[in-house]
Amino acid sequence: MNKHDLTARYGLKYNPFLPAIPPADIWLPKAADAFFFRVETLVLDGGFAALEGEPGLGKSKLLQALANRLALVGDDVVIGVMGRPQSKLGDFYRELGELFGVDLSPANRYGGFKALRARWRDHIRSNLLRPVLLIDEAQEVPTACLNEVRLLSSVHFDSESLLTTVFAADLRLRDRFRRRDLLPLGSRVRTRLLLAPYPPDELRAFLDHLLDRAGGPQLMTDGLKATLSQHSAGNCRILTQTAAELLDVAARRDLAQLDEGLFLDVFGRNVGGPGQRKVA
């Protein structure tokens, strides 16, 4: 069954359990709104923010929602989203140049350093807002590149910042920030959101939000919603992957609604957590 047939079968605007959902429909945990507000304030002054947590807790989606929210502030907010965080220093500079409209030569790194800072200064003078750099999977960024961002954005003996940088990363970056070679950057992170596994009631709110926004609040029984919320180890990705598999099976079987009986039939009656489900 193709994507169109599946969504039409259940009256959905889109499949709520796949990654490609509209940015406006992204679910925000309780602490996200305060973090977003602090980042919006950071755009006025520049500096560093970090969104951290284990895999599957929604960091990339929250970064996407943040980019969408900053874009709604107006055209004066310039946002660069790094697409290849693992690049070495030459390519890292080249991508920064593309993101912020500066023609850089990797052979003249000092010239690129000056050109980027000049571009950012011009933007600040014109708009009183710092450009924004968003780096997803920031734990992959080489140490030299992380330190280069710190030095690039710092002026007047570190009394002013030309850039607002937001890192989204798993807990490896948090550990790296404690090491001597990255401590100067880690100590400058002004605001953090540390995501932890969600309790069942918050996962239930996440699931209800997905279904409501996709136009299918009746797609699942309350019993199945409770089962998924309790057996997903507090992890959004595990929940959505499980729900996506159930939806595919239900469509193949021409079931009108997904219930806990389907869950037990597909995954077996011995449910012990991630990696321990027995497929029937």
Domain boundary, last residue among 174, 194, 214: 194
- Tell me, what's the pLDDT at 1? 54
CATH code of the domain containing 67: 3.40.50.300
- Other residues' Cβ atoms within 10 Å of the Cβ of residue 274: 15
Secondary structure percentages of the chain, helix, strand, coil, to 5: 50, 10, 40
Q: How many CB atoms lie within 10 A of CB 71?
A: 13
Instruction: Note whether 37 and 84 are same-domain residues.
Output: yes
Domain that holds residue 242: 3-25+199-265
Kindly state whether residues 222 and 135 are assigned to the same domain.
no
Same domain, 48 and 21: no
Answer for the pair 265, 233: CB distance below 8 angstroms, yes or no.
no
Is 113 part of any domain?
A: yes
Q: What stretch of H or E contains 193?
A: strand 189-194
Domain count, the chain: 2
Establish if 278 belongs to a structural domain: no
The answer on 123 and 65 residing in a single domain is yes
pLDDT on residue 103: 86
* Residue 271 is assigned to a structural domain of this protein: no
Q: Is 237 in the same domain as 211?
A: yes
Task: For residue 58, give the H/E element and its range.
Answer: none
Distance, in Å, from the CA atom of 247 to the CA atom of 230, rounded to the nearest integer, reads: 18
**In terms of domains, do 157 and 255 share one?**
no
The candidate with the shortest Cα–Cα distance to 210, out of 27, 29, 62, is: 27
Helix (H) or strand (E) holding 223: helix 222-230
CATH number at residue 227: 1.10.8
Same domain? For 236 and 171 the reply is no
Asked if residue 276 is part of any domain, the answer here is: no
pLDDT at position 274: 47
214/17 Cα distance (integer angstroms): 10
Q: Please give the pLDDT value at position 110.
A: 87
- pLDDT tens over the chain, length 280 residues: 555 578 888 999 999 999 999 999 999 999 999 999 999 999 999 999 999 999 999 999 999 999 999 998 877 899 999 999 999 999 999 999 999 999 887 778 889 899 999 999 999 999 999 999 999 999 999 999 999 999 999 999 999 999 999 999 999 999 999 999 999 999 999 999 999 999 999 999 999 999 999 999 999 999 999 999 999 999 999 999 999 999 999 999 999 999 999 999 999 855 554 444 443 3
The pTM of this model reads 0.90
Tell whether 172 and 225 lie within a shared domain: no
